[in-house]
Amino acid sequence: MPDAPSIRTALGGFSDYELIDSGRRCKLERFGPVTVIRGEPKAWWEPVLPSREWDRAQAVHDEDAGWDLRPGCPRQWPLRDGPLTFLARLSDTSKHLGIFPEQSPHWRAIREAAAPGARLLNLFGYTGAATLAAAAAGWQPTHVDASKPAVAWARENQAASGLAEKPVRWIVEDAMKYVRREIKRGSRYDGILLDPPAFGRGPDGGIWKVERQLPELLDLCRQALTDTPRLLILTTYNIEASALMLRNLLSDLMDPFGGRIEAGELALSHTAAPTRLLPLSIYAKWTK
């Protein structure tokens, strides 16, 4: 392992997405043809653009009232990222649209680490962007999420991307329980992705708290790796964590395998102010 930590900012985004501006704890974004305003607790600064530019948004999310849509604004529409198609969706229960553009550097890392027949485990896989990037690159991915609607949405994205024939395993299950069972079955993976929530509930009502259970889950993931792993990525949006914390966790976990660890922040640049970056999550990535 290198002596000095490698801490960096990885800039995300793709052609059908644009972070136009942010400030006053909100962000103005373009998802394909639709511009939206959503809350963003990390945007403490003042917006660059005048309010008249923000007023043109077609959909505005309020934490209490939900989405306010202008006439003609769709509820669902496709987004393209190279060969992949994701269905953006305005839900009555969430400000999220089903895609996290800042995570696109992880999709690139998945493509770079792909090898024919290599197996990838995506825990807390949500609507499947990383899973489909892996499938398109030649991995054999297993997608695990405790939310049945999220997995159903991911399968819709698979069909929209023309990847219905790819060998993707879709699992609705608690991540910890699934990995334990895989270890008992002797099932091993060449790569693992983890994007755990700070807090959540499994299908059986079990409670997940990242600060209590992540070290145990990481140890289980180490046991579920092959002897020659290719990739492990850990991402979290927990505001109390740091990139150095994640790097230290992966260093403990992956030191026997050699390789390289990179840690830092996932961020997006602004169209209105390209030198301003919006930090959104932290990550640590191990590669062979």
pLDDT in tens, 165-190: 999 999 999 999 999 999 999 999 99
pLDDT in the model for residue 198: 81
- Min mean pLDDT across 87-91, 160-164, 194-198, 229-233 is at 194-198
% the chain with pLDDT above 90: 90
**Measuring CA to CA, which residue among 192, 203, 72 is closest to residue 139?**
192
- Min mean pLDDT across 194-198, 222-226, 260-264, 269-273 is at 194-198
**Rounded-to-integer distance, Cα 286 and Cα 288, Å:** 7
pLDDT in the model for residue 28: 98
- Angle between helices 129-137 and 104-113 in degrees, nearest 10: 30
CATH classification code of 76-287:
3.40.50.150
Q: Is 233 helix (H, G, I), strand (E, B) or coil?
A: strand
Q: What is the mean pLDDT of the chain?
A: 94
The stretch 66-90 carries a mean pLDDT of: 97
In tens, the pLDDT along 239-253 reads 788 999 999 999 999
E strand intervals along 32-148: 34-39, 59-62, 66-69, 76-81, 84-89, 119-123, 140-145
Domain chopping of the chain, boundaries: 76-287
- Chain centre to alpha carbon of residue 7: 19
